[in-house]
């Protein structure tokens, strides 16, 4: 499948909420494969469909010895369609996040440490579970994309937004 261009800050599609998926299987297979190929080629750990021009509520997550996040444990490929999450408890953590749509930039963002989430898989089967730490952060970040929110809109302090090379 083709590796697509990742939309970057200023592209209006990044700020529009995406549309719920109603057809599964072959109807989303090519989109998902394009997302996986694009995310891996760009060394991302997550990608929302609208970041590559697909107006659907799909996110993917994978960490496999990722050079952008070398201290993070591996996470096998996850496909979440129509994901929703709910914060568990009050514990929050601040972390320097990156984003493929903001290449070369990092921002310090505070997010919930523990969440529960539900989604559908590529065949339309629904599931729910919990996540914590880095995985919970990535799910929240990618779900923000689906709602038209980028990480710079979550910053508490603009002084904590910088090019990676300056950190």
Structure tokens belonging to residue 157: 């302090």
CATH class, domain 12-162, is alpha beta
- The average pLDDT across 15-19 equals 97
What is the edge-to-edge ordering of all strands in the sheet holding 46-48?
Answer: 46-48, 58-63, 75-87, 114-120, 126-132
Q: pTM (2 decimals)? A: 0.96
Q: How far apart are the first and last CA of the chain?
A: 35
Whether 108 is a known active-site residue: answer no
Query: Of 84, 108, 142, 164, which one is the catalytic site residue?
Result: 142
Ranges of each domain in the chain: 12-162
- Reported as a single tens digit per residue, the pLDDT across 92-102 is 999 999 999 99
- Which pLDDT score, from 0 to 100, does residue 167 have? 84
């Amino acid at each position: 499948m083709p590796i697509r261009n990742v939309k970057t800050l200023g592209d209006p599609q990044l700020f529009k909420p995406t549309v719920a998926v109603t057809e599964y299987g072959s109807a989303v297979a090519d989109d998902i494969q394009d997302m996986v190929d694009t995310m891996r080629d760009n060394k991302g750990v997550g990608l929302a469909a609208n970041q590559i021009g697909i107006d659907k509520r799909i996110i993917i997550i994978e960490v496999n010895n990722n050079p952008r996040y070398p201290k993070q444990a591996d996470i096998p490929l996850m496909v979440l369609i129509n994901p929703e999450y709910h914060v568990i408890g009050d514990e929050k953590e601040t972390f320097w996040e990156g984003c493929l749509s903001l290449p070369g930039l990092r921002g310090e963002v505070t997010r919930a440490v523990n969440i529960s989430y539900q989604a559908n898989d590529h065949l339309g089967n629904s599931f729910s579970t919990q996540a914590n730490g880095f995985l919970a952060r990535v799910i929240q970040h990618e779900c923000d994309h689906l709602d038209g929110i980028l990480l710079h809109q979550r910053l508490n302090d603009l002084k904590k937004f910088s090019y990676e090379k300056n950190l």
